[in-house]
Amino acid sequence: MNASTPSRCGFVAIVGRPNVGKSTLGNALVGAKLSIVSRKAQTTRHRIHGVLTRDQDQFVFVDTPGFQTRHGGAMNRMMNRVVTQALAEVDVVVHVVEAGKWSAGDAGVVPLLPRNRPVILAVNKVDAVKDKNALFAYVSRLMEQFPYAAVVPVSALRDVQLDILIQELARHLPEGEHLFEPDTLTDRPLRFLAAELIREKIFRLVGDELPYGCTVVIEQWEENAEGARIAACVVIERDSHRPILLGAGGQHMKRIATEARQDIVRLLEKPVFLDVYIKVRKGWSDREAALRELGYE
């Protein structure tokens, strides 16, 4: 860290139509495992995807809802509002497109891009492009669509020009203290994050209906090179909350477990067997629950 240079820290959103490589880019920039963030971080309004700290610069990558989902009609309009609001709160936006390809999906993203924030166009998958002249024409056309602050051709998959993209992003970070400590990867934050992922799925699906929320406790965590076996317990306040969480035929719990498992697989980068079950808080002191949640037995 250079003492004469002020530290910078800002929120970055990666947006774009499905399949352009947003997740690949996000993971290439922060490393999949850096999705682990401290609890303090979770209090921000954004869901943090990962944090990249480089000397005096800290980039906080956030997940933007709406770009992960594919809805139509009224749902789409509502999601678009959510997206616009979310993007108004970040410091820099990366709009990802696929080199040489432009579809209605890409065109649909442009009106959602903020006008009062720098938007950097990342032209991804350049490794798959043979004709570099065609790429130049393609980029020129895109620059007429929106006043991008910069255009960077990259390959998220092959790590081409990602350092240039990071430099461009850094130019737009506001000066300020770093919000996160550089993370240490230990078992405990992984357990904690797995619990957070499960809780997030519950919150999304039935959050409105669960009056006291719930606590997710990781009860078993066995991991080796081949995979992980995880048992998680959802602690609810009352018996009457159980059917809310289960849904008809247990479909809610199935969906929660499936979606959480997919995220945990991404986090651990290995197969995961996840068992999620429900317990009512009888015999659970708050303190005990809190301690176990943090990984203390």
Ligand X SMILES: Nc1nc2c(ncn2[C@@H]2O[C@H](COP(=O)(O)OP(=O)(O)OP(=O)(O)O)[C@@H](O)[C@H]2O)c(=O)[nH]1
Q: Looking at beta carbons only, is 24 or 145 nearer to ligand X?
A: 24
Q: How far is the CB of 40 from ligand X (least distance, A)?
A: 27
Return the half-sphere exposure (C-beta side, CA atoms, 13 A cut-off) of residue 174: 12
Cβ distance 284 to 233 under 8 Å?
no
**127 is an annotated ligand-binding site residue:** yes
Based on CB atoms, which residue is closest to ligand X, 40 or 158? 158
CB 163 within 8 A of CB 229: no
- Which CB, 108 or 250, lies closer to ligand X? 108
Which residues touch 153 (CB under 8 Å, ≥6 apart)? 99, 122, 123, 126, 135, 139, 160, 161
CB of 98 to ligand X, least distance (A): 8
Taking CB positions, which residue lies at the least distance from ligand X?
A: 21
Which is nearer to ligand X, 101 or 255 (by Cβ)?
Answer: 101
Nearest approach in angstroms of CB 44 to ligand X is: 22
Nearest distance, CB of residue 263 and ligand X, angstroms: 12
65 is in an annotated binding site: yes
Nearest to 216 by CA among 241, 191, 239, 240: 191
What is the smallest separation between the CB atom of 136 and ligand X, expressed in angstroms?
A: 18
Our measurement of the distance from residue 82's CA atom to the centroid of its chain's CA atoms, rounded to an integer in Å, reads: 15
Is 76 annotated as contributing to ligand binding?
Answer: no
Give the position of tokens 């992980």.
228
Q: Residue 19 or 251: which CB sits closer to ligand X? A: 19
Distances (CA, A) of 82 to 157, 202, 206: 29, 20, 19
- Cβ neighbours of residue 243 closer than 8 Å, sequence gap 6 or more: none
Nearest distance, CB of residue 200 and ligand X, angstroms: 17
Query: Is 45 marked as a binding-site residue?
Result: no
According to the annotation, is 254 in a ligand binding site? no
- Judge whether 286 is annotated as a binding position: no
Strands (E), the chain: 8-15, 47-54, 57-63, 92-98, 119-124, 150-153, 215-223, 228-236, 272-280
Nearer to ligand X, 122 or 233 (CB): 122
Where on the chain is the footprint of ligand X (CB under 6 A)?
16, 18-24, 68, 124-125, 127-128, 155-158
Is 67 known to sit in a ligand binding site?
Answer: yes
Q: Binding site residues for GTP, as ranges?
A: 16-23, 63-67, 124-127
Q: Binding site residues, as ranges?
A: 16-23, 63-67, 124-127
